[in-house]
Amino acid sequence: MPVTFRILPKHGLVYVRYEGQARLTDTTTAFAAYTVHPEFHPGQKQLVDLSAITGWDGDFLELMKIQAQKAEAFRGVGAQTMMVYYAPTRTSLDLAKIALQSWDGLDGVITLVQQSELGTLALLGLAERSFEQLLQEAG
């Protein structure tokens, strides 16, 4: 599956990584698995790593469907969710901009885009200097 997630409870963070050609049906499947994971809870920060993405399927209907599901899950008990997209390439930046637009008008989610790992980690309030360090320290 070209989308995976890893919950880092120590940081109150979910690391989501896309690789290759993103299919939004895979996003829907991964998100469903995330919401039933025992360490899921509303308000977890989201780091969405788009650095290895080569494109996406352009399924706008599925995008709206998954964004509605995410909005419902993230709102939880009034919790706000910070979502930072790491988009260092033209392709990933274009996709991040589409994702940002899909959140317009939805309360409870703060979305940002960064083009550097260090900037992404800083926005999330993390002291680590790279994603590799973050993931290694998380175990």
The residue behind tokens 């939880």 is 76
**Six-digit token pair at 109?**
């989610």
pLDDT higher than 70, residue 1: no
pLDDT higher than 70, residue 35: yes
Q: State whether residue 40 is helix, strand or coil.
A: coil
Domain housing 111:
3-138
Tell me, what CATH number does 22's domain have? 3.30.750.24
What is the share, in percent, of the chain residues with pLDDT greater than 70?
96
Q: Which parts of the chain fold into alpha helices (H)?
A: 24-35, 60-75, 90-103, 117-123, 131-138
Domain count for the chain: 1
